[in-house]
Structure 1
């Protein structure tokens, strides 16, 4: 990561995937898909953490290097920049429910790097970015479909 020029860096995002207490069923599929995205050149993983929030709210943070059996993630561990600080961990864990475990992923969007570089060279700067939750998209599509059905029924 330190060899990457700022001129060629793509947008960097983070996400937190929470697994509520008693609702996780890890099969290795998540790790395999993440490695597939890296191998395809879609993303570059900058940092990863595993957070556990006890029922009393106390937080334990593990870097990948703190984990014994990384499985497919072993290939990513050596490249991590370990960017997140203790204050970041506290802020990220605030969104978690007590008793849950979460994975935190900080990644560069390599697919968008050429566009981002061109925008910077043209004097542009990102002033807003937001991810739309899948649940909101599904709800919107369902509302549109229900509206279409209602309109069709009115027209009959």
Structure 2
């Protein structure tokens, strides 16, 4: 990437989606929704890797270009920067259960690029960010509802 392109870059995130053995599907609805995000300009996929973790803990990483029939994912494969290093893959695989398969996605939040660029031009820098897992939000709302129903 050129210096100009980097100055326009939005926040970059990654996610790892694990599938139990025999239940992995990198096609269908998941791929359709990912492509909708890309087509809408919401995100730009920078890298994508498929990880497998054997029952003995051995990890194998496949770039999309090496994964065989990509189906609709072939549209993304040509744009990938292959940013993840072997150490990154090993670190991400530590969270996986033995016998599982995971999709790793590194993406730019293009929707936030103008804001991020403006913040950098103003001398700002991102010093922290995070996500609240949806399961935690649901648990919090359920706990609040339980308190309300008991009259607390």
Assess same fold via TM > 0.5. Answer: yes
Q: Could you tell me which residue of structure 1 aligns to residue 33 of structure 2?
A: 33
Over the aligned positions, Cα root-mean-square deviation in angstroms equals 1.4
- CA distance, structure 2, for counterparts of residue 73 and residue 6 of structure 1: 25
Note the C-alpha offset of 1:87: 0.7
Count the aligned residue pairs: 151
Tell me the SS of whatever aligns to 1:57: coil
TM-score, normalization by structure 2: 0.94
- CA distance, structure 2, for counterparts of residue 28 and residue 135 of structure 1: 24
Q: 5 Å matches for 1:38-117? A: 38-117=38-117
Where does the alignment leave 5 or more consecutive residues of structure 2 unmatched? Answer: none
- CA distance, structure 1, for counterparts of residue 86 and residue 25 of structure 2: 28
Cα 1:44–1:87, aligned 2, differ >3 Å: closer, same or farther? same
Note the C-alpha offset of 1:6: 1.8
Note the C-alpha offset of 1:126: 0.5
Cα 1:26–1:114, aligned 2, differ >3 Å: closer, same or farther? closer
Note the C-alpha offset of 1:27: 5.1
- CA distance, structure 1, for counterparts of residue 87 and residue 27 of structure 2: 31
Cα shift readout 1:75-134 (whole Å, capped 9, x = no counterpart): 100000000011111000000000000000000000111111111111111111111111
Cα 1:12–1:63, aligned 2, differ >3 Å: closer, same or farther? same
- CA distance, structure 2, for counterparts of residue 109 and residue 23 of structure 1: 28
- CA distance, structure 2, for counterparts of residue 34 and residue 26 of structure 1: 11
Note the C-alpha offset of 1:24: 3.8
Tell me the SS of whatever aligns to 1:5: helix
- CA distance, structure 2, for counterparts of residue 26 and residue 110 of structure 1: 23
Note the C-alpha offset of 1:26: 5.5
> After the TM superposition, which parts of structure 1 deviate over 6 Å for at least 4 consecutive aligned residues?
none
